[in-house]
Structures are given as structure tokens and as C-alpha cells.
């Protein structure tokens, strides 16, 4: 048991060391591009709402298979005129021989968008392109591992490693980056349970720290620190969470998106669990977004190792 705990601690320390090393190397090699006034412009501020969204926090793993379908409707405030977008997405989570590790594949099946001339000028899109259209979205693949179980003085700790595909279309219309990327992060969660209460179950506090990287169109990559915090209330009929987080790129040119997310999962212990989420950009993500969907879960042979 002690050996297992030591291995998990080594994994966490290795993750933090790697993040610091990669950030230092990238800053030394590529920072002059931003200093001399040539930022790439490949940033969430100049693209659609799903180009490289702020990742949702991976707070835990599960022994159940979870299939989610969702729809988003976004409206922008990049310009005085409003642009709109609607997407149809998915999220699949599969336990990997244990409830301690999950394979997660998620993304957008398709996007429909309605831009305005003012928005297109800010995004530097050629005027001959139609203001409305539709395109395919990006797909992400990640591994989420529970490194440490929660103890009295130890938070529940998860490690995630994720890859972003370059499957999104309409780069020339500023919808998706059309470039690969990746991110990895640690999430620490501590729960405070309600005793002798049939309705309120617990309050969870989470902190997320990580590193984000994506390829730009000036022959280099942009690197960013990822930070987020969350407070979640668990009850008998619903889970309500408020997350504030984002990432901060090295170019310092509208590449530091920050948003607040409010989400409610209804009947989280049932096989079918509907949910709604509202997200609002606070910095460098000029959108408001409503998401609604349903999660279908079914049991597997993997039981909790806690």
C-alpha cells in the first residue's frame, strides 16, 4: 500500500516538473516573436466559441461507462453586432480495466454559425466568404487517472493527459484552429459531507492546475498555464457547481481566455441524468453559451477501489 502511494506521488511530482521545464524552454525559444510585435493571432478571441475551449475540470474517475450528448447555443460580444453559433457534441468515458483510469473522447459533431461583417473584420476574414455556414468540429482524446484517494488530510487527486485533433473545419473563416494541441493537468478535490441530512450530501472544493499547448500559424506553438477553481453542492436530486478558470498564453495577445461556468446535473445517481450549463466569458473569450444535454450511464464489472 505504501509503495502504491509513493508511485502516485512520484507521478504528480513528475507532472509538475515536466510542465515547468516545457514552459521554460518554449519561452526562451519563441517569446521574441511576441516581443517584436508578431503574435500569431491564433487565439480563442479571434475564433469561434469551440476553437479551443477552456477545458472542463476532471474531478474524478468512474467505474461506469458514461455517454453524453449535448447541444450548445452561443452568442458573441466581440463587436457591437452579435454573432451566433450552435453545436451538437458528445462525451464518452470508458473505464480502463479499473475505476481508477478512464478513457475520455469528446468533441463537436457539427457546428452551425451566423457571423456579421463587423465580427469578420475583427477576425480578419476575407469579405468574399459567406457570413453563415456549417462545419465539422474538433475531437479530443484524454486519459484521466485517479492518483490519490481522498483521506482526512489528503485531497482526491486526478491527473489528465489530453490531445486535441486538427479535425475542425473552416479555418479561413475563423471557426477552428485547424491545428493540433494538447494539455495536461492535476485536479485536487476535498469534500465536506453533511451529517444526518437526507437532502444535502456534501460540498466539494476543487483546484485545477495544468499546461496547455497548441500550434499556431507562424511556425511555432503557443503555451499557456491552466488554472481553475470550483465549488460544488451535491444534493439528493441535483448537483450544482460553479467553476471559474482559464489559461494564459505566452504571446499576451488575446490568448488568455477566462470564463465562469454554472452547471446543474439533475438526478445524478440515475441512469439518465439531464444537465444544463451556462458559461460566460470574462476575458479573451467573447461569448455567452447555453448547453443542455443528457448523460446515460451503465454499470460495469469494475467496482470502486477506495
pLDDT in tens, 64-81: 999 999 999 999 999 999
Strands 238-249 and 200-215: unpaired
Phi, psi of 18, deg, nearest 5: -65, -40
Distance between CA atoms of 100 and 56, rounded to whole angstroms? 19
Is 198's pLDDT higher than 60? yes
- Output Rg (C-alpha) for the chain, integer angstroms: 20
- Average pLDDT on 275-289 reads 97
With H, G, I as helix, E, B as strand and everything else as coil, classify residue 14: helix
- Structure confidence at residue 212 (pLDDT): 96
User: Of the candidates 270, 279, 222, which has an alpha carbon nearest to the alpha carbon of residue 56?
Assistant: 279
- Structure confidence at residue 160 (pLDDT): 98
Is 19's pLDDT higher than 50? no
pLDDT in tens, 208-217: 999 999 998 7
| Weakest mean pLDDT among 51-65, 172-186, 188-202 | 188-202
Is 26's pLDDT higher than 80? no
Q: Cell numbers at residue 205, please? A: 472544493
Distance between CA atoms of 232 and 56, rounded to whole angstroms? 13
Q: Cell numbers at residue 161, please? A: 493527459
- Structure confidence at residue 8 (pLDDT): 54
Q: 31 pLDDT band (50/70/90 cuts)?
A: very low
pLDDT in tens, 83-123: 999 999 999 999 998 999 999 999 999 999 999 999 999 99
Quickly count helices (H) and strands (E) in the chain: 2, 13
Burial of 102 (0-12, 13-18, 19+ CB in 10 A): buried
- Structure confidence at residue 2 (pLDDT): 54
Q: 218 pLDDT band (50/70/90 cuts)?
A: confident
**DSSP state at residue 55:** P
DSSP string, 277-293: EEEEEEES--EEEEEEE
Residues 305 and 61 sit within 8 Å (Cβ to Cβ): no
- Structure confidence at residue 300 (pLDDT): 78
- Structure confidence at residue 36 (pLDDT): 42
Distance between CA atoms of 288 and 279, rounded to whole angstroms? 6
Is 250's pLDDT higher than 70? yes
Is 200's pLDDT higher than 70? yes
pLDDT in tens, 252-266: 899 999 999 999 999
- Structure confidence at residue 306 (pLDDT): 45
- Structure confidence at residue 27 (pLDDT): 42
User: Of the candidates 162, 155, 281, which has an alpha carbon nearest to the alpha carbon of residue 210?
Assistant: 162
| % of the chain surpassing 70 pLDDT | 86
- Structure confidence at residue 9 (pLDDT): 55
Computed over every residue of the chain, the mean pLDDT equals 88
With H, G, I as helix, E, B as strand and everything else as coil, classify residue 219: coil
pLDDT in tens, 148-186: 999 989 999 999 999 999 999 999 999 999 889 999 999
Is 305's pLDDT higher than 50? no
Looking at per-residue pLDDT, the higher value among 227 and 218 belongs to: 227
Is 16's pLDDT higher than 90? no
Residues 116 and 77 sit within 8 Å (Cβ to Cβ): no
Amino acid at each position: 500500500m505504501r509503495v502504491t502511494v509513493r508511485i502516485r506521488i512520484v507521478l504528480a511530482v513528475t507532472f509538475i516538473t515536466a510542465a515547468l521545464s516545457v514552459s521554460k524552454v518554449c519561452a526562451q525559444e519563441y517569446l521574441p516573436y511576441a516581443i517584436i510585435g508578431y503574435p500569431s493571432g491564433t487565439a480563442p478571441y479571434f475564433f469561434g466559441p469551440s476553437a479551443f475551449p477552456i477545458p472542463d475540470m476532471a474531478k474524478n474517475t468512474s467505474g461506469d461507462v458514461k455517454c453524453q450528448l449535448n447541444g450548445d447555443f452561443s452568442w458573441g460580444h466581440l463587436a457591437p453586432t452579435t454573432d451566433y453559433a450552435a453545436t451538437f457534441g458528445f462525451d464518452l468515458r470508458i473505464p480502463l480495466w479499473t475505476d481508477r483510469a478512464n478513457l475520455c473522447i469528446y468533441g463537436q459533431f457539427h457546428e452551425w454559425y451566423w457571423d456579421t461583417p463587423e465580427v469578420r473584420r475583427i477576425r480578419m476574414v476575407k469579405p468574399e466568404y459567406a457570413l453563415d455556414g456549417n462545419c465539422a468540429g474538433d475531437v479530443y482524446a484524454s486519459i484521466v487517472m485517479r492518483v490519490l484517494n481522498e483521506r482526512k488530510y489528503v485531497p482526491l487527486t486526478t491527473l489528465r493527459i489530453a490531445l486535441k485533433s486538427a479535425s475542425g473545419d473552416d479555418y479561413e473563416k475563423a471557426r477552428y484552429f485547424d491545428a493540433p494541441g494538447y494539455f495536461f493537468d492535476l485536479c485536487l478535490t476535498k469534500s465536506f459531507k453533511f451529517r444526518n441530512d437526507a437532502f444535502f450530501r456534501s460540498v466539494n472544493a476543487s483546484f485545477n492546475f495544468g499546461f496547455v499547448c497548441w500550434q499556431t500559424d507562424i511556425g511555432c506553438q503557443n503555451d499557456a498555464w491552466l488554472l481553475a477553481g470550483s465549488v460544488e453542492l451535491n444534493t439528493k436530486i441535483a448537483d450544482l457547481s460553479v467553476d471559474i478558470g482559464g489559461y494564459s498564453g505566452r504571446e499576451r495577445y488575446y490568448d488568455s481566455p477566462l470564463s465562469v461556468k454554472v452547471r446543474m446535473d439533475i438526478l445524478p445517481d440515475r441512469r439518465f441524468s439531464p444537465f444544463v450549463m451556462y458559461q460566460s466569458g470574462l476575458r479573451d473569450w467573447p461569448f455567452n453559451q447555453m448547453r443542455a444535454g443528457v448523460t446515460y450511464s451503465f454499470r460495469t464489472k469494475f467496482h470502486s477501489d477506495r
